[in-house]
Amino acid sequence: MPEGARGETAAQVIDIDALTFSYGSRKVVDLEQFQLAADESIAVIGSSGCGKTTLLHLLAGLLQPATGSIRILGHDITAMSGAQLDRFRGEHMGMVFQRLFLMPALSVHQNIALAQRLARKPRDHARIDALLEQLGIAEVSHHKPGMLSQGQAQRVAIARALVHSPALVLADEPTSALDDEHASQALTLLKDSTAAVGASLLVVTHDGRVRGQLDHEFNMSALS
């Protein structure tokens, strides 16, 4: 298991070098350099099919690159085994998707506790309650996801991504299905929450409403 959690001297949370990835003969990702410092946020934008979601999956260790290296918190995740990657991902990353994939059988509190457990963190109900309070959904703590509004569910997904205090939060199209008001709320919430836990944030989106909202912006379409 690679050493190095948050607090290590790694200046960059993400450090990509000469990264390529192809689907068959079609090169989808071709990045010479890409970095994201701790406590910073970045929006990876671009048209559909430009490879931004693929980049997110590569960063999460869900795909293996053809060439190049990806260092997260100073650790080359491309050199990790599958089990090491699973563990690393669970401990140091939080993920939010357009579809939230909350466990329908579990309550809000249990959903968040599951993430805590899979991150190999000791169960901390106070932490969960505080997070729910912070996100304004404490009253639905024992509700099942099916009983929540879209906004509430999104907050639960964000709480789940942050409960284990990850170093990096990866978000894939978190606002695409939301109206302007809710999109703005969701993005603000995501940004503020990650900042509150000291996590870096990378948002992959084609939603123009995100532009200018985060510290940095990286257009994948410009690479094509």
Partner 1 sequence: MTWLRLAFANLSLSPLTTAVNVLLMALGTASIVLLLLAGVQLAETMSRDAKGVDLVVGAQGSPVQLVLSAVYHADVPPGNIKLNEAQRWADDSRVATAIPVSLGDSFRGFRIVGTTKAYVDLYNAQLGAGRIWSAPMEAVLGAAVAEAAAMGVGSTFAGAHGLVDGGHTHDAKPYRVVGVLAPTGTVIDRLVVTSLESVWELHAEEGAHDHDHDEDHSGDGHDEEAGQAEEHHHEEEHDHEAEHAHEEDHHHEEDHHHEEGHDHEEGHQHEGEHHHEEEGHHHAEGDHHDEGEDHHAEGDHRDEGEGHHEEGDHHHEEEDHHDHDEAHHEHHADEDHGESDDGHAHDADTDHNAHDHDEDVEITALLLSYRSPLAATTLPLDINAAGALQAAAPAMEISRILQLVGVGMTALGAFAWVLVATAALSIFAALYGSLRARRGELAMLRCLGASRFELLLYLIVEGLLMSLLGVTLGFLAGHGMMELVGNWLASTRGVVMTGWIWAPAETLLLLGLFLVGALSAIVPAIQAYRTDVARTLAEG
CA distance 51 to 21: 9
The three-state secondary structure class of 75 is strand
Instruction: Give, as one character, the DSSP assignment of residue 223.
Output: G
Among 12, 30, 40, 97, binds partner 1 (CB under 8 A): 97
Among 11, 66, 79, 105, binds partner 1 (CB under 8 A): 105
CA distance 53 to 168: 16
Strand order in the sheet with 168-172: 93-97, 168-172, 200-205, 41-45, 216-219
Residues 124-143 interacting with partner 1 (rule: CB under 8 A): none
CA distance 151 to 157: 10
Among 4, 117, 219, 221, binds partner 1 (CB under 8 A): 117
Among 6, 57, 75, 109, binds partner 1 (CB under 8 A): 57
Among 99, 122, 180, 212, binds partner 1 (CB under 8 A): 99
Cα 186 to the center of its chain, rounded Å = 14
Residue 118 Cβ vs partner 1, minimum distance, rounded to whole Å: 4
160 binds partner 1 (CB under 8 A): yes
Residue 120 tokens read as 């190999």
Among 1, 76, 120, 139, binds partner 1 (CB under 8 A): 120
**Where does this chain bind partner 1 (CB under 8 A)?**
53-54, 57, 60, 62-63, 82-83, 86-87, 89-91, 93, 95, 97-99, 101, 103-106, 110, 114-115, 117-120, 160, 172
